[in-house]
Amino acid sequence: MSRRPGLILLVGFAVLVRLYYFWLTKDQPLWWDEAEYALAAKSLVFGTPSTGWWEGGPILLPLLLAAFYALGLGVGACRLLLLLVSVATVVLVYAIGRRVGSERTGLIAAFFFSLDYLNLFYSMRIMTEVFQLAFGLLAIHLFLRRRHEWAIVPLIVAGTLFRFTTALVAVILVAHLALVDGPAFLKRRSYRLSAALGALAAAPYLAWSWWRFGDPLHPFKAGSAHLTVDLGFGSGLQLLAAYLAALPAHLHAVLWAAFLFEVLFFYDVLWGFDAVARGEDRPAAHRFLLLLWILAIFLFHGFAVNLHVDRYVVLAFPAIFIVVALGLERLHDAIARSQRYQRRLPAIFLAAVLVAGGIQLGQDADAEIRTKRRSFESLREAAEWIAEHSAPEDAVMTMSVPQMTYYAERRSYAVPDSEAAFAAALAELRPKYVVMSVFEQHPQWTFEVEPETHGLRPVRYVPPDEPLLVVYEVER
């Protein structure tokens, strides 16, 4: 690294930006997904309730958090680890961009990625996206380097146990090998060894799933069944169109223009694919990998997932920013080759785009982080109040089940969809408190019923002046 001053500056910049936002968000309340992982870890270490956690979910983040809890560290240590892993993803984007294009390509792509809100925002949340990026990018980096190939599949397996969709990296790499190298790649000893090591790495989780659910693939099947409900070809097209329509606003005008400009030059990847397949055009083969990478992520989340959530496609953005960097470098070189322009103009052009694009991306990330850092503050306050005014065996009904379980350390259950089911649940579960709030989607009947009908007495408004949340005590 010492021989690459650009990389040193990039890493220093990425660290400083993340330290600033770490300090800004170190005490922010946990979101739904964050609380799921954290309550599972608490339950493993301290035996607190685990309601709100589906045990068939990816297991490595709860286990990592459990290790921190066992050491007396908690979520703060995990936030620091996320910061380091986030910096590692920036370095990996640089390394992949450098191999696909040049040193400058890697630096440009990594600079923009370091400020992209999908990376920066979720680096401040105890969630799985940054770990998915780290393991997926490292696997792709080793694939491009053609070194330590034995580690590729174990890395993908580890990433998948943080976030299931990391498995798409395997699909991308296998598709690239099959189309570029043909069946010959199956004979490579390093790939066979990698597959065997990957199977060994996955075996404990699959064995546990078999023991717990009677099917080693049950978590994957259950998650797939949930995410494909009401999903058809037409709705898949609509979701794909929604993801693609969001790209111009995400990249802003200059970077979006650079992306489209470079995509125009991808014709040689397909037009001259026979040369790619023969291994005669390695740069085109690298761009073909970028093409597969982006298409696989967007097509999967368009046609296989029934929700439009921007963070779902975060794994595509390293490739997108590398394409942006390739386009900017192509424009830089075109300006430099022209004798009509001054010698300094190419550098001025590139610097202007870096500043303009960086400011726009940074402003997006800053707005997302600042506006959402205090969301669920009222819920945390209410849950901590409930913890002080209840016994460990008491239960709570709320639509924010994971957060309530995590902060109150009490069994928490969702409010049923119908009023009749709610009355039955009150009799069966006998909760001490029922919490209604603006957080999460509540059943329609909760907006129409009088709380007194079910013996609910308001005991806490949060905040007191303009309540976002009401705690009701259930009268016996």
What value does the mean pLDDT take over residues 247-267? 94
What CA–CA distance (Å, rounded) separates 262 from 96? 17
pLDDT of residue 342: 67
Residue 142 reports pLDDT greater than 80: yes
Tell me the pairing of strands 411-413 and 469-474: unpaired
pLDDT, one tens digit per residue, over 297-311 is 999 999 988 888 999
Report the range of poorest mean pLDDT among 41-55, 338-352, 444-458. Answer: 338-352
Domains of the chain with CATH codes: 5-30+74-370 (no CATH), 377-474 (3.40.120)
Q: What percent of the chain has pLDDT over 90?
A: 78
DSSP element (H, E) containing 313: none
pLDDT, one tens digit per residue, over 452-469 is 999 999 999 999 989 999
Q: How far is CA 202 from CA 2, 127, 141, 355, in A?
A: 37, 21, 21, 44
What value does the mean pLDDT take over residues 125-145? 97
pTM: 0.93
Eight-class DSSP state of 13: H
pLDDT, one tens digit per residue, over 75-130 is 999 999 999 999 999 999 999 999 999 999 999 999 999 999 999 999 999 999 99
pLDDT of residue 269: 74
What value does the mean pLDDT take over residues 316-345? 88
Residue 343 reports pLDDT greater than 90: no
pLDDT of residue 182: 82
What are the beta bridge partners of residue 436?
470
Eight-class DSSP state of 296: H
Tell which residue, 140, 119, 98, has the closest CA to residue 326.
Answer: 98
